[in-house]
Structure 1
Amino acid sequence: MTKARPILDMNAFDNHGPQKKDSPQSDLLGRRLRNVGAASVLFYRDPIEMVSASGCWMTAADGTNYLDFYNNVPSVGHCHPKVVSAMANQAARLNINSRYLHQTVETYLDRLKATFPDHLENIVLTCSGSEANDLAIRIAQRAAKARGIIVTESAYHGNTAAVTEISPSAVKRGVLPDHVIAIAPPGKHAYGDNIAAGFADAVHSAAITLKERGHGVAALIVDSIFSSDGVFSNPKGFFRLAVAVIRRAGGVFIADEVQPGFARTGDAFWGFARHDVVPDIVSMGKPMGNGFPMAGIAVRPEMLAAFCEDVGYFNTFAASPVAAATGLAVLDVIRDENLQNNAAVCGAYLREGLQHLAELDGRISDIRGAGLFLGVDLSEDGDPTRPSGQLVGDVINAMRRHRVLIGAAGKYGQTLKIRPPLCLKRSEVDFFIEALGKSLRACG
């Protein structure tokens, strides 16, 4: 039986395994392990020391250039000059907490709000997606006057105490708490050809169980491309029915856009918009500041007002002028460089290349996703019901030898998770496809 794998173990350096004593970075690695201890998480069996980056490329200390198909944090490109300039210029003038008025802060919030449905009138900025989802859960529980949460079985929503409880992929031992129920992600393996009805039925059953346990139903929270579950994006509109079910049960719908948001899916600025659904709360993070630590939620004002009657919310470093200037520059770059369209066009070209590889190598058992967020399942014998996390791990490390960085996802680590910067070029797609083909042959 294939075992589930915690998400952080899927492409991680094993600090309990043998280490290369003669490696150029062995001393640096030793310092890292001494300093950070058991909490240290590094990529690759032989970790890489990075020194610089630009666009879709990162440069290691030994001079090797790597094509980055993993990092959705610098979404408009590593070290984008317009974003760096906006950040530095504002830091040189003023940086202070949000208890003072500042033109750039309000300009940014107005621009960001314009990308959302009209009912999401309030924005609350935080410093991380974990903080954003933590706040979203608290607001939802206050609004619903209930505690129960429904998530998907390999979801990751952050690492505060509250959101670790609703992040099954982060749990290495034990089980989810009683007020959290995880359901299968919206794929054919779980729900057959009628994904919309099957997924909605699973939400309905989970809601009944939460009520029977005495917790009630506070929220359904999903990453709207189900990235940690293995990337499930289609058919468009499939979770409208599930949203209707959660609201009939008394809960709210939280769209976690930390990974799929900010134009990545190509055909919509937000992942939820592809499905024509209307969230009650939207959480944002990683790509929001292109590497600067900023995140937030968009929320119905009546829900935020009710929450603030009890405890309120303030964040010292969020909504600062530097954060606002940085976030505004990211929105400008997405618009001025037409990156949403590039995600659609380059994403289609990338999918064509992957489909061609699948015709040559039957171990590619499925290709899913939208825009520049794709998932590619691998199995040893081409059988999608027999996923191979081992093969994915081998391919990831082989691709590193061919100068491409990529990660894994899925319950069994069976999915190559593809999410390059939005400034990706066709020539870089070609480089990736060639590297993946070589890596698959090397792992034959």
Structure 2
Amino acid sequence: MDQLDPGLQSMIKRRQELIGPSIKLFYRKPVEFVRAEGVTLYDSHGNEYLDAYNNVPSVGHCHPRVVEAVAKQMSTLNTNTRYLTDTVLDYSERLLATHPAQLDKVMYACSGSEANDLALRIARYATGNEAVIVTANAYHGLTASISELSPSLGRNVPLGPNTFLIPAPACQAGGDVTAAGRAFRASVEQAIADIERRGKRLAAILVDTLFSSDGLAPDPAGFLAAMVDVVHQAGGLVIADEVQAGFARSGDEMWGYQRHGFIPDLVTMGKPMGNGLPISAVVAQGTHLEKFGRDIRYFNTGAGNSACLAAAGAVLDIIEEEGLQENCLKVGAVMLAGMTDLAARYPIMTEVRGAGLFLAADIVNPATGQQDAKLADAVVAGLRDRRILVSATGPAENVLKVRPPLVFTANHAEHFLSELDQVLATIG
């Protein structure tokens, strides 16, 4: 901290006095941002930082069309879903149209955590069962019930008594989708057998369709479909967590589950749908909502409010009209090829993988080949010093996580790759 300028030291001291200590700052050298535009953030000295990490402002920071839509709606009406408005109906029709016809109902919440919490409640009430399967380092949210299903939060956040873990898939690009599907299905079958041996029944499997916190497992696309009938036969529902994977991020499809060729029972999404505003949703096959809707009063005051829906509508406009799904595919290919080339040159970086504008690479000790969180942190810090924002993830915290806004261009990609090259050359 002594190396920081006095202004930042003062801010950090004030923060320590005011903010709960569980809320951590990014980076060894924290950075103060004062404004943002597109994929660029600006610090208090006017320095530009390339954002290769933040997926929540999905169509770019302060996108003028989102800003205009929200301001116009706020100046007209901002109210909740208990009143009749065209806003919620129009957006619901558009959102459901991006999903298969079987997914025909939507319910709103304010965050991905709330959406997963609601989906869990629906699944448990619809099935009458309690047990839930998640992957070994999953993150699905921070409510009390969902933190019990988020092993990535660490040993001080206990798993719930009805939480059952399976290994994250160890899949590779170009791998055999049948073999990968068989392996994942076998893990699910084993978990179900364990659940039933304990006298419990399966309510759901909750799966991030890109396995973001598990270190990213995008390929081979299609392997997830093999487990769906096993879950249904055991009496459970399939919940696709699309908070990080959805809204065209993978490039080849709008939703991560579509890459795998199956239709979930419930789909959850989070704040990227409103470019960072507090809106989220659960899209469902309507039959699963009938009992819940008959017996349970669900009301969330801020959920689906008019201003957030205006932002969400603008996000869909931008994705469609600016060709952002195609952009993710095209620019993601540049990023993947460039990172793969760097991995061939620097033994510190291995196992590059990605889907569209979500990419990852394992950082290892070049002498031993072992996972190395300290070296991963050094890469993240080195990029931050060169004004590039990324993070690290995975069970060993050694996976470089690259997940920029969807408006990232080929020029941004080349700049990122050039700076990453310099950092890797310096470290290893």
**TM-score > 0.5 by shorter chain:** yes
* TM-score, reference length from structure 1: 0.93
Q: Within the alignment, does 1:32 sit opposite 2:26 as a pair?
A: no
Query: 1:100-115 maps to which residues of 2 (within 5 A)?
Result: 100-115=83-98
Residue 410 of structure 2 aligns with which residue?
426
- Given that residues 81 and 305 in structure 2 are in contact (C-alpha distance below 8 angstroms), is that contact kept between their aligned partners in structure 1? yes
Query: 1:326-337 maps to which residues of 2 (within 5 A)?
Result: 326-337=311-322
- In structure 2, how many angstroms separate the alpha carbons of the residues matched to 1:309 and 1:101? 20
- Per-residue deviation, residues 392-417 of structure 1 (Å, max 9, x unmatched): 10000000011100011110011111
Q: Within the alignment, does 1:180 sit opposite 2:187 as a pair?
A: no
- In structure 2, how many angstroms separate the alpha carbons of the residues matched to 1:350 and 1:39? 33
Q: 1:374 aligns with which of 359, 383, 387?
A: 359
Residue 231 of structure 2 aligns with which residue?
246
Q: 2:71 aligns with which of 83, 88, 101?
A: 88
Where in structure 1 are there 5+ consecutive unaligned residues?
1-17
- In structure 1, how many angstroms separate the alpha carbons of the residues matched to 2:34 and 2:157? 38
Gap change, CA 1:169 and 1:243, over 3 Å in 2: same
Residue 390 of structure 2 aligns with which residue?
406
Q: 1:149 aligns with which of 114, 127, 132?
A: 132
Q: Which amino acid aligns with 2:374?
A: Q
- Given that residues 148 and 157 in structure 2 are in contact (C-alpha distance below 8 angstroms), is that contact kept between their aligned partners in structure 1? no
- Per-residue deviation, residues 72-99 of structure 1 (Å, max 9, x unmatched): 0011111000001000110011111111
- In structure 2, how many angstroms separate the alpha carbons of the residues matched to 1:238 and 1:221? 16
Residue 279 of structure 2 aligns with which residue?
294
* Percent of residue pairs bearing the same amino acid type: 42
- In structure 1, how many angstroms separate the alpha carbons of the residues matched to 2:193 and 2:426? 49
- Given that residues 96 and 321 in structure 1 are in contact (C-alpha distance below 8 angstroms), is that contact kept between their aligned partners in structure 2? yes
Question: How far is the alpha carbon of 1:19 from its aligned partner?
Answer: 5.3
- Given that residues 33 and 40 in structure 1 are in contact (C-alpha distance below 8 angstroms), is that contact kept between their aligned partners in structure 2? no
- In structure 2, how many angstroms separate the alpha carbons of the residues matched to 1:383 and 1:377? 13
- In structure 2, how many angstroms separate the alpha carbons of the residues matched to 1:382 and 1:279? 44
Does the residue aligned with 1:305 lie in a helix, a strand or coil? helix
Question: How far is the alpha carbon of 1:62 from its aligned partner?
Answer: 2.1
Q: Within the alignment, does 1:99 sit opposite 2:66 as a pair?
A: no
Does the residue aligned with 1:38 lie in a helix, a strand or coil? coil
Does the residue aligned with 1:232 lie in a helix, a strand or coil? coil
- In structure 2, how many angstroms separate the alpha carbons of the residues matched to 1:406 and 1:232? 18
Question: How far is the alpha carbon of 1:381 from its aligned partner?
Answer: 2.2
Question: How far is the alpha carbon of 1:40 from its aligned partner?
Answer: 2.1
- Per-residue deviation, residues 358-404 of structure 1 (Å, max 9, x unmatched): 121122210112100111111112766x2111111000000001110
List 4+ stretches of structure 1 deviating above 6 A. Answer: none
- Given that residues 105 and 325 in structure 1 are in contact (C-alpha distance below 8 angstroms), is that contact kept between their aligned partners in structure 2? no
- Given that residues 58 and 406 in structure 2 are in contact (C-alpha distance below 8 angstroms), is that contact kept between their aligned partners in structure 1? yes
Question: How far is the alpha carbon of 1:213 from its aligned partner?
Answer: 1.7
- Per-residue deviation, residues 106-151 of structure 1 (Å, max 9, x unmatched): 1111000000111111100110000000000011111221100000
Question: How far is the alpha carbon of 1:431 from its aligned partner?
Answer: 0.7
Q: 1:69 aligns with which of 38, 52, 58?
A: 52
- Given that residues 72 and 286 in structure 1 are in contact (C-alpha distance below 8 angstroms), is that contact kept between their aligned partners in structure 2? no
Query: Aligned pair count?
Result: 424
Where in structure 2 are there 5+ consecutive unaligned residues?
none
Residue 45 of structure 1 aligns with which residue?
28
Residue 392 of structure 1 aligns with which residue?
376
Does the residue aligned with 2:353 lie in a helix, a strand or coil? strand
- Given that residues 113 and 120 in structure 1 are in contact (C-alpha distance below 8 angstroms), is that contact kept between their aligned partners in structure 2? yes
Q: Which amino acid aligns with 2:419?
A: A
Residue 59 of structure 1 aligns with which residue?
42
Q: 2:210 aligns with which of 214, 225, 230?
A: 225
- In structure 2, how many angstroms separate the alpha carbons of the residues matched to 1:359 and 1:125? 45
* TM-score, reference length from structure 2: 0.96
